[in-house]
């Protein structure tokens, strides 16, 4: 996918999503309120949004707290005060955020315990020493050699640019509709610096939802009780939903997408839907929504029964 076609999708063409009114309201009349059967259009398909902003805000107030972070790899970032350490720790934690959560936490812990000051460690440690340090590491498909290469690449970018944020911002434009074009450039530079190909560093240009990299950006950019927001050069309004199968199930149930695959197009479609609720922070509700089904006390089934299409409130 070329940069031009990527940008076309991000700016609202190529099946991008926008709010429209039900057909009986007539052309030219735009609904200003979501919920109660408001309509959205994505990829030529009309969908009825069944949830409203009050319900999302209630969920946010209930679950967007530090006490509900565990078990989540985000918790490792709280161990660091320095923004440089946080961005390196965040890159490690997000890159390994696939598989069973217990295994994720164990693997992230094994990497970070060997780097007491992550930013200094990756800039001061040579490739050979990194490979030796992580020779016995493995997390599902990720080998110790791949982790060493990722850290070596991060170190090279930090030495060249000053920080991972500065590297990312070099590819960001205010005219971009989202962070996805900048993420494509950033992932490409990091892959080249690390000498990596494959699953550890996917790219939006290949149509991937890039859930783990978008998760990394959420941690770096947003600032509230949960997200640390140690980057200031990227606006939260441009973030993209970190979409995996769990989040897609929720979004489909709420009528925010009709797609069945967790792809870039689906991530963009759901992000545009969430922008109607929170234009300045479309990823605001991501953490709270993903607690459903993760926290034992959170009732995903009951939530969807209430708010899903065809549910008690969804009609």
Give me the pLDDT at residue 212, please: 97
Confidence band (pLDDT; 50, 70, 90) for 199?
confident
Q: Which of 242, 240, 275, 245 lies closest to 260 in space, CA to CA? A: 245
The answer to whether residue 315 scores a pLDDT higher than 80 is no
Span 206-214, average pLDDT: 94
Annotated domain spans of the chain: 3-63+241-307, 71-221
- How many Cα atoms occupy the beta-carbon half-sphere of 194 within 13 Å? 26
Q: Decide: 182 and 168 in contact? Cβ < 8 Å.
A: yes
The rounded distance, in Å, linking the Cα atoms of 98 and 287 is 16
The answer to whether residue 53 scores a pLDDT higher than 80 is yes
23-27, 209-213, 291-295 — most confident range: 209-213
Q: Which of 114, 185, 106, 105 lies closest to 148 in space, CA to CA? A: 114
Give me the pLDDT at residue 305, please: 82
Distance of CA 5 to the CA centre of its chain: 21
Residue found by looking up tokens 């936490």 in the block: 105
The answer to whether residue 9 scores a pLDDT higher than 60 is no
The answer to whether residue 109 scores a pLDDT higher than 90 is yes
pTM above 0.75, yes or no: yes
Give me the pLDDT at residue 20, please: 25
High-pLDDT (> 70) share of the chain, %:
82
Give me the pLDDT at residue 33, please: 41
The answer to whether residue 47 scores a pLDDT higher than 90 is no
Span 50-75, average pLDDT: 94
High-pLDDT (> 90) share of the chain, %:
70
Give me the pLDDT at residue 42, please: 42
The rounded distance, in Å, linking the Cα atoms of 105 and 291 is 16
The answer to whether residue 141 scores a pLDDT higher than 70 is yes
pLDDT single digits (tens) 170-189: 999 999 999 999 999 999 99
Least confident range of 91-95, 105-109, 235-239, 258-262: 258-262
Q: Which of 95, 98, 100 lies closest to 148 in space, CA to CA? A: 95
Average pLDDT of the chain, as a whole number: 85
Give me the pLDDT at residue 3, please: 39
Residue scoring higher pLDDT (251 or 21): 251
The rounded distance, in Å, linking the Cα atoms of 283 and 179 is 12
Give me the pLDDT at residue 309, please: 60
For residue 110, what are the contacts with CB-CB under 8 A and spacing of at least 6?
137
The rounded distance, in Å, linking the Cα atoms of 301 and 98 is 23
The answer to whether residue 29 scores a pLDDT higher than 70 is no
Q: Which of 127, 79, 136, 131 lies closest to 107 in space, CA to CA? A: 136
The rounded distance, in Å, linking the Cα atoms of 242 and 262 is 10
């Amino acid at each position: 996918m070329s940069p031009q076609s990527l940008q076309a999708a991000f700016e609202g063409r190529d099946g991008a999503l926008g709010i429209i009114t039900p057909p009986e309201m007539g052309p030219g009349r735009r609904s200003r309120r979501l919920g109660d059967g408001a309509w959205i259009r994505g990829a030529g398909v009309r969908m009825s949004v069944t949830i409203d902003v009050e319900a999302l805000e209630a969920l946010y107030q209930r679950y967007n707290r530090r006490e509900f972070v565990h078990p989540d790899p985000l918790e490792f970032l709280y161990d660091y005060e320095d923004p440089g350490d946080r961005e390196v720790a965040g890159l490690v934690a997000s890159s390994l955020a696939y598989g069973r959560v217990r295994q994720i936490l164990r693997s992230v812990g094994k990497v970070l315990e060997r780097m007491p000051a992550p930013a200094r460690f990756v800039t001061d440690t040579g490739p050979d020493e990194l490979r030796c340090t992580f020779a016995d590491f493995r997390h599902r498909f990720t080998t110790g050699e791949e982790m060493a290469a990722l850290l070596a690449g991060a170190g090279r970018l930090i030495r060249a640019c000053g920080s991972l944020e500065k590297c990312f911002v070099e590819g960001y434009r205010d005219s971009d509709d989202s962070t996805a074009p900048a993420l494509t450039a950033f992932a490409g530079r990091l892959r080249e610096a690390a000498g990596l190909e494959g699953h550890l560093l996917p790219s939006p240009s290949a149509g991937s939802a890039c859930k783990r990299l978008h998760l990394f950006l959420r941690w770096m950019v947003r600032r509230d009780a949960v997200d640390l927001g140690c980057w200031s050069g990227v606006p939260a309004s441009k973030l993209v939903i970190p979409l995996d199968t769990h989040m897609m199930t929720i979004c489909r149930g709420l009528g925010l997408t009709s797609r069945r695959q967790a792809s870039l197009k689906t991530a963009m479609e759901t992000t545009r839907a969430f922008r109607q609720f929170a234009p300045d922070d479309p990823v605001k509700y991501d953490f709270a929504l993903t607690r459903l089904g993760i926290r034992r006390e959170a009732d995903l089934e009951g939530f969807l029964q209430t708010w899903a299409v065809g549910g008690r409130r969804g009609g």
